[in-house]
A and B are shown apart, each in its own frame.
Chain A
Amino acid sequence: MNPVLKLLLEGGRLTTAQMALVVGLSEVEVQQHLEQLKKDKIFLGWRPVLDLSREAAAGAAVRAVIEVKVTPERGGGFNRLAERLARFDEVESCYLMSGGYDLLVIVDGSSLQKVAGFVSEKLSTLEGILSTSTHFMLRSYKEGGFLVEQAEAQSSRLNVAP
């Protein structure tokens, strides 16, 4: 496996210089690995993990999880509509699901009105959309692998131990 991909999978936050030291490559080689992963569409990009309920980070404080039922198209299935939907900036993630609905869409917005407006004016009016069911997120307990409130207590491990 690509050694840089291994480090990315661990979910750490190393700089490329640190990655180079860990895997024993030059920084240029690490960059090349990252470029290759991007070319292969495995590595899509970086983004910070923020607690959006904090006022300082409130740019996208409202999150809605939307169940969408659609009419699949002959020849294209769900893809054409899903890809169209995914291009909206408001859409944070978009998944094709098994079960009682077809697409799961996560939408972020700065206010309830903005998210509601996006759903009623854009999303539900797209051709092929049969119905939407919108759930607003009330509180986040874990975000992108990080615990929001109850981080581990500060370690009081011994500094030197047998």
Chain B
Amino acid sequence: MSADPKRWVAGHVASLPKSGIRDFFELVAKMKGQDVISLGVGEPDFVTPWHIREAAIYALEKGKTYYTSNLGMIELRRAISTYVTEHFGVNYRPEDEVIITVGVSEAIDLALRALCNPGDKVMYHQPCYVSYHPSITLVHGEAVAVPTYAKDQFALTAEALRAAWVHGCKILMLNLPCNPTGGTCNLEQLTKIAEFCREKDLLVMSDEIYSELTFEGSHTSIASLPGMAERTIFLHGFSKAFAMTGWRIGYACGPAALIDAMMKVHQYTMLCASIIAQEAALEALQRGWDSVCKMRDQYHRRRDLVVRRFNEIGLKCHAPRGSFYAFPDVTSSGLTEKNFAVGLLEKEKVAVVPGIAFGVNGTGHVRACFATSYEQLITACDRIDRFVQGQAR
């Protein structure tokens, strides 16, 4: 038999485009050992605080190696419920309104699988996290992109939402603060979005993974606005704020009927999240807040450094109110974002991610993650400066 094994691949998977990040990852991987400074990562440079790691080791020593409830450990769900009330002002019952997942990524997949019928339209703002569009495609939903713009510092506006809305839209996915733009919405903007959602009877999936890394003002969850908790799935996790990316622990909170639907999918596909990681997450919520604040302060100073340097270099860049990503406009260099990223990598050994990897509205921008040491950031900015000056000549 010489027939192509690809014929076995399902049509909707075969037609999924490969992530633009993946291409770039391979390019960077080829330059291994060449003193590349990577601003291309999507995770904290901090190691998980020791007390959290130690709690996981202790759990292992005590023989905690079994399944947990499908929804996750009740102690962790209780701690999450308290945390979400204190930090986001929304109340969820730990018994049936909280589910622990394998990262927020799984929570997004569960929510889409549980709530989206084939053909349902799902709105999301763009540029956005790379998985949103494919996740919608995988459940046979129809993705409707809502553009965000540099002039609004990449905040989502109700006007853009209204302009993009088409009949049949059922779900709105939000990621505020946003990867890759660092854009977020103020209370006024968020209130208008909430009004629009109520008017059009949209269900909101709100991924607030970067909320603790808000530098100015406080973060507001759309779920906390009047009449929104009943139509919002609040998605959150431990990866960013607690520097726990590799533990893969996220959670979803929402109306019991919706969490129950997600639980159905979760119990047949994942069963439960790792108990060791759940124990670590519990420790993080109980005693990890000081570490979160310390890390946030450092990100804040790093953000100020890179944003100031980018603007000095002539790459227009807004100060992201949240997240650890700067999203400068590189068109002043005369290059497309892709040629800028490739040229910068080849000539100056600094890796950034071309904005197009996050959707067409990322054209002209690159994503630079500032979750790395001051020394590295200073050197990287100097190299970018040299690269841009070289283009001007």
Interface residues of A (CB under 8 A from B): 6-7, 10, 12, 14, 18, 21-24, 152, 157-162
Would B305 and A24 count as touching, CB distance under 8 A? yes
In the assembled complex, which residues on chain A have CB atoms less than 8 Å from the CB atom of B301?
6-7, 22-23
In the assembled complex, which residues on chain A have CB atoms less than 8 Å from the CB atom of B297?
6
Contact residues, B191-219 vs A (CB, 8 A): none
In the assembled complex, which residues on chain B have CB atoms less than 8 Å from the CB atom of A158?
25, 41
Interface residues of B (CB under 8 A from A): 19, 21, 24-25, 28-29, 36, 38, 40-43, 45, 47, 129-131, 179, 297-298, 301-302, 304-305, 308-309, 351, 353, 373-375, 378
Would B28 and A159 count as touching, CB distance under 8 A? yes
Would A160 and B353 count as touching, CB distance under 8 A? yes
In the assembled complex, which residues on chain B have CB atoms less than 8 Å from the CB atom of A23?
301, 304
In the assembled complex, which residues on chain A have CB atoms less than 8 Å from the CB atom of B42?
161-162
Would B21 and A161 count as touching, CB distance under 8 A? yes
Q: A107 vs B355: C-alpha distance in the bound complex, in angstroms?
A: 58
Task: Decide: A24 near B374, CB < 8 A? Known: A159-B40, A160-B41, A162-B129.
Answer: no
Apart from A18-B374, A159-B41, A162-B42, 8 more pairs, CB < 8 Å: A22-B302, A22-B378, A24-B308, A159-B25, A159-B36, A159-B38, A162-B129, A162-B130
Name 29 A/B residue pairs within 8 A (Cβ), A-sorted: A6-B297, A6-B301, A12-B374, A18-B374, A21-B305, A21-B309, A21-B378, A22-B301, A22-B305, A22-B374, A22-B378, A23-B304, A24-B308, A157-B43, A159-B28, A159-B29, A159-B38, A159-B40, A159-B41, A160-B38, A160-B41, A160-B351, A161-B21, A161-B25, A161-B43, A162-B19, A162-B21, A162-B129, A162-B131
Q: Give the tally of cross-chain contacts (CB within 8 A).
A: 61
Would A24 and B304 count as touching, CB distance under 8 A? yes
**Minimum C-beta distance from B92 to chain A (A):** 28
Would A161 and B40 count as touching, CB distance under 8 A? yes
**Minimum C-beta distance from B135 to chain A (A):** 12
**Minimum C-beta distance from A149 to chain B (A):** 15
Would A161 and B375 count as touching, CB distance under 8 A? no
Q: A157 vs B38: C-alpha distance in the bound complex, in angstroms?
A: 10
Would A160 and B21 count as touching, CB distance under 8 A? yes
In the assembled complex, which residues on chain A have CB atoms less than 8 Å from the CB atom of B131?
162
In the assembled complex, which residues on chain A have CB atoms less than 8 Å from the CB atom of B29?
159
In the assembled complex, which residues on chain B have CB atoms less than 8 Å from the CB atom of A18?
374-375, 378
**Minimum C-beta distance from B317 to chain A (A):** 14
**Minimum C-beta distance from B248 to chain A (A):** 14
In the assembled complex, which residues on chain A have CB atoms less than 8 Å from the CB atom of B45?
157
In the assembled complex, which residues on chain A have CB atoms less than 8 Å from the CB atom of B43?
157, 161
**Minimum C-beta distance from B295 to chain A (A):** 11
Would B305 and A159 count as touching, CB distance under 8 A? no
Task: Decide: A160 near B25, CB < 8 A? Known: A10-B298, A22-B305.
Answer: yes
Nearest to B43 among chain A residues (CB) is A161
Would B41 and A161 count as touching, CB distance under 8 A? yes
Q: A159 vs B353: C-alpha distance in the bound complex, in angstroms?
A: 11
Nearest to A3 among chain B residues (CB) is B301
Nearest to B47 among chain A residues (CB) is A152
Nearest to A17 among chain B residues (CB) is B378
Would B375 and A14 count as touching, CB distance under 8 A? yes
In the assembled complex, which residues on chain A have CB atoms less than 8 Å from the CB atom of B28?
159-160
Nearest to A12 among chain B residues (CB) is B374
**Minimum C-beta distance from B189 to chain A (A):** 26
Would A14 and B21 count as touching, CB distance under 8 A? no
Which of the listed residues A12, A14, A158 has the most CB atoms from chain B within 10 Å of its own CB? A158
Would B40 and A160 count as touching, CB distance under 8 A? yes
Q: A157 vs B208: C-alpha distance in the bound complex, in angstroms?
A: 23
In the assembled complex, which residues on chain A have CB atoms less than 8 Å from the CB atom of B304?
23-24
In the assembled complex, which residues on chain B have CB atoms less than 8 Å from the CB atom of A152?
47
**Minimum C-beta distance from B276 to chain A (A):** 19
In the assembled complex, which residues on chain B have CB atoms less than 8 Å from the CB atom of A22?
301-302, 305, 374, 378
